Amino acid sequence: MKKNKTTHLMSGIFILVFVAIFLILTGRFLYIQATGEINGVSLEEWADKKRTSSYPLNAERGKIYDSNGMTLAYDRPTFSIYAIVDEAYTTDKEEPRHVKDPEKTAEMLAPLLNIDKNYILERLQQGIEKDRFQVEFGSGGKELSQKTKDKIEKLDLPGIKFDKESIRYYPNGMFASHIIGFARKGEEGNITGVTGMEREMNKLLSGKPGHISYQRDKYNTKLLDPNEVIKQPKDGDNVYLTIDQKVQTLLEDVLSQVDKKYKPERMTAIVMNPKTGEIVAMSNRPSYNPNNPADVENWYNDVVSTPIEPGSTMKMFTWASAIDAGVYNGNAQYKSGSYKVVENATPIRDHNGGRGWGTISFDEGFRRSSNVAAAKLVREVIGPEKYINYLEAFNFDKKTGIDLPGEVTGRIVHNPNAPRDIAATGFGQASTFTPIQIMKAASAIANDGKMVKPYVISKIVDSKTGEALKETSPEVVGTPISKKTSDRMMELLGSVVSAEDGTGKGFSLEDYSVAGKTGTAQYTVDGKYVTGREKYIFSFLGMAPADDPQLMMYVSVKHPQLEAEHGSVPVSFIFKNVMKNSLHYLNITPDKETSNVVHSVKVPAIIGKSTDGAKQALKGLNVTVIGSGNNIVGASATEGEELIPNDRILLLTDKPTMPNLAGWSLRDVLQLADLVQLDIETIGNGYVFSQSIKQGTAIKKGDYLGVELEPPKKEKPTEKNESDNANQEGEQATNQPE
């Protein structure tokens, strides 16, 4: 009886517990049904989120153009390949939408992706074994061209899909690389500027991303009513540079020639309009191809980031200071050779081993680039304090403010407490400046005393409307000297090039007068000056035409591998080729009468002419005929265009075939691709050594051409007799600072 009572009691308790649980669960279900929430989370929102895909819509990055509207950088569409390996993606009633035959798929993809067949097969089989929905194929399956994608799609392989993505592309390869810089895709998929203009203008070029969201099934396929929401991205603005593509290409080609022949450690060159400050061309060596930034020898733009001892180019500012201060007498005599600033200091010597030229005038001292004359002007004529004030007026103590990243400033005097250092600054020792600082200061001499700010951005343009959002105007940033001083300095600089005893006579042009100053500077390694016949930085700063400079150019070549030549020879080769041809291209009227002058060649009407007739009409140019046809159907230059003598022009015949590209520059290859409308891919930089289409093969629009380029191979330098140091033509700085 007692046992029954206990049983009934326990049964009652269990019934109450179960009823309570039932009521709690029922209440919970009713609450969830009524509110649609669990623990404050909306089930509707949760479900919506689970079946909604959201993706960013990247803005198209703005383009970079040269001053004439040629594209220098843009977003190039590429594709990534992937394979769906989940059988559940295909229903019984459908054609296969997954990889059905891994062996066949791997075999057919391998040659097009240039990936080993076994690697592709292994990836596919691993995906199937591990029940994955899809697999990818590593770096070999990324950045595929439209042409490769089209070829794969023609194979009609089930389960093979593509994602579209963009990469930053630079169609001219190694062209103004340190100005343009490069951009690359980050972890979040955005393209971001790393160096150069890409970095400087990254915010404007990037634009603003948008996004898209839609509802989908478990295979990421949109539902019939996807509730799609789209916020459109705002594409980046376009940047136009002051760089002129033709002058820049000419500069790049000439630097490559010098690099190949003389193998210098470094080279720098700038072409600027001294009236406005516009940079027309700028380049350095070593340089790099921004399409392949992994193999970069020199990240720095030496023009703005590497201060050097300027050498005797500095003398133009020393003489300008003396003239402007009203204390200069060009006919005054002094004894050249050597000069002791203070008793316990090493004497300052002229570049011919301290022999000098006897007692000469200060005007002659400038032409001969006398270190002694420069030191005497600083110490005894101008006075050190006033001289430093003039250098500050030339802004040598400040950055130029050029619109490029990474600019640094030099130092006017390394040791302002050392009298000899101050005197040595007068001829370009014991001080350091960047090439762009020197160009900015020299603009005052070329521009009637008005110093202009250098710049490379011409304007910012809205990529959708074409409206100019911002335009750069020339800016005068100082008048360190008067017009009278400027005129006198231009006379002196002209005599350096035109006079028989001038150090710059090797820089004269046949049809344009040149004013300029040579320089030969020492450089240090581990704090010590390097010695040796060719172990200098040879430079020249020149302006033309001398009576009204339209272009100003600075060239420096560090440690060229010379035979019997003087170090000014490679510098002269660069200056003369670029300056002469650029002036002709810009239609600057020659100011010298010379019967031997060869002017630019104007392209006549040649389309439709016979091949022989077209070649005959293009005398003075380097004519390359593309194909074996008898009629010309296209050319790399248009009728009326003016080309530089001996410049290459391509003539396309009605039966085009591939020429032998060995030794061609990137510029020539790009002209060919543009003329025939080939799909081109370049690897490396320098000159062509390999091409994917064999010589003589018939070619047509859309054909793929891959070319490999390589820079000139550098040879181990041969040590020369260092006793030749004192026998350089020009103005070697043979005295080390205290």
Cis ω before 286 (30° cut-off from 0) = yes
- Using DSSP's 3-state secondary structure scheme, residue 489 falls into helix
Look up 67 and say whether it is catalytic.
no
- Residues ≥6 apart with Cβ < 8 Å to 46: none
- Residues ≥6 apart with Cβ < 8 Å to 638: 603
- The letter for the amino acid at 602 is K
Measured between alpha carbons, how far is residue 649 from residues 58, 108, 180, 521, 690 in Å?
40, 41, 27, 40, 22
Measured between alpha carbons, how far is residue 9 from residues 14, 15, 17, 517 in Å?
9, 10, 12, 116
For 671, the token pair is 């002209």
Q: In angstroms, rounded to a whole number, what is the distance separating the alpha carbons of residues 114 and 117?
A: 9
CB 287 within 8 A of CB 266: no
- Residues ≥6 apart with Cβ < 8 Å to 126: 132, 135
CB 125 within 8 A of CB 165: no
Of 53, 32, 56, nearest to 44 (Cα)?
Answer: 32
- CA 132 to chain CA mean position, Å: 44
CB 526 within 8 A of CB 506: no
Of 504, 490, 539, 495, nearest to 519 (Cα)?
Answer: 539
- The letter for the amino acid at 433 is F
CB 277 within 8 A of CB 475: yes
CB 67 within 8 A of CB 244: yes
Cis ω before 737 (30° cut-off from 0) = no
Q: In angstroms, rounded to a whole number, what is the distance separating the alpha carbons of residues 315 and 519?
A: 9
| DSSP states along 669-735 | HHHHHHHHT-EEEEESSSEEEEESSPTT-B--TT-EEEEEEEPPPPPPPPPP-GGGGGG-SS-B---
Compute the residue count for the chain: 738
- CA 9 to chain CA mean position, Å: 92
- CA 282 to chain CA mean position, Å: 9
Strands 468-471 and 457-461: antiparallel
Of 396, 381, 466, nearest to 434 (Cα)?
Answer: 396
Task: Please return the burial class of 182, using the count of CB atoms within 10 Å of its CB with bins 0-12, 13-18 and 19+.
Answer: buried
- The letter for the amino acid at 369 is S
- The letter for the amino acid at 638 is T
Q: In angstroms, rounded to a whole number, what is the distance separating the alpha carbons of residues 189 and 337?
A: 65
Half-sphere exposure of 510 (CA within 13 A, CB side): 10
For 483, the token pair is 């017009």
Q: Where are the beta strands (DSSP E) in 365-418?
A: none
Strands 515-521 and 537-544: antiparallel
**177, 312, 338, 443: which is the annotated catalytic residue?**
312
Q: In angstroms, rounded to a whole number, what is the distance separating the alpha carbons of residues 492 and 193?
A: 45
The residues annotated with a catalytic role in the active site are 312
